[in-house]
Structure 1
C-alpha cells in the first residue's frame, strides 16, 4: 500500500481554495496589472458579487495598490489580479498604472548617470 500524496491531506485546503474562487483561471481577460498600480472603487456594487470582490470594493474606496490589496485579502497575487480584472471588466474599479502617474526617464540622462558611476 502506498502512502497518499502529501498535498492531499487536510493542510491542502487553503492552498487549493483561492484558485477555486476564480474557477481555476490564471489570467484575467484584460491586461496584466502591475503590483504598484493603484486601484479605486467606482460606483455602487451590484448584487451577486462574491465576498472577496465585495471586500476589494470596500477596501478600495480609498486608492490602494494591487500588492496591498493582496495583503489585505490574504490571497495570492494571481488570484487578486483575476478578481480585479473581473471588477475592471464590470466597470466597478478604476486602475491607474504607475507609468501613467509619472513620465519615463530620459535615456540620455540614464546614460549620463551610468557614465558618472563608472567614473567613480
Structure 2
C-alpha cells in the first residue's frame, strides 16, 4: 500500500516533448507545405530508424499529405515536418508534387463554390 505522500506515475505511455523528438530543431531541412505529399522510397529499412521516424515512415507507405501524417501521429505539424524532412534527407522518403486541382479548372471550381455558398 502506498502512503499518501508518494507520487504515483500514470500507467499511460509517456509522450516525449516536441523538442526532444527534433533534437531541439525548429526548422525542417526540407521545405514542406501542409499539402505536400510524402511517400517512402524503399531505400531504407524501417528497422534502421528510431521509433518516431519509423512511425512517420509507416504512415508514408502511400503518398500522404503532411497534415494527415501529423494528425495520425498526434504531433504538431512543425515536429512532423522535421521528422519527414529527416526521412527525405536520409533517402527513406520523397516528396511528390501536391496536385490538388488542375490550374485550368480552378476558376470553374471557385464559381461552383460561390454558387453553393450563395444558396446557403
Q: What range is the shorter-chain TM-score in?
A: 0.5 to 0.7
Counterpart residue number, 1:41: 40
CA distance in 1, matches of 2:70, 2:30: 18
SS where residue 78 of structure 1 aligns? helix
Counterpart residue number, 2:4: none
Scaled by the length of structure 1, the TM-score of the pair is 0.66
Counterpart residue number, 2:83: 83
Scaled by the length of structure 2, the TM-score of the pair is 0.66
8 Å CA contact 1:36–1:97 kept in 2: the answer is: no
8 Å CA contact 1:28–1:81 kept in 2: the answer is: yes
SS where residue 17 of structure 2 aligns? helix
- Following TM superposition, the consecutive aligned residue runs of length 4 or more in structure 1 with deviations greater than 4 angstroms are none
Structure 1 residue 47, shift from structure 2 partner: 4.6
CA distance in 1, matches of 2:104, 2:81: 27
* Greater fraction of residues in helix: 1
Is residue 2:55 matched to residue 1:64?
A: no
SS where residue 27 of structure 1 aligns? coil
Unaligned runs of 5+ in 1: 1-12
8 Å CA contact 2:66–2:81 kept in 1: the answer is: yes
- Once the two structures are superposed, what CA deviation does each residue of 1:58-112 show, in whole Å capped at 9, x if it has no partner? 121122110110011100000000111111111111111325x655359xx69xx
SS where residue 103 of structure 2 aligns? coil
8 Å CA contact 1:45–1:57 kept in 2: the answer is: no
Distance 1:46 1:59, change over 3 A: closer
Unaligned runs of 5+ in 2: 1-13, 116-120
Backbone CA RMSD of aligned residues: 2.9
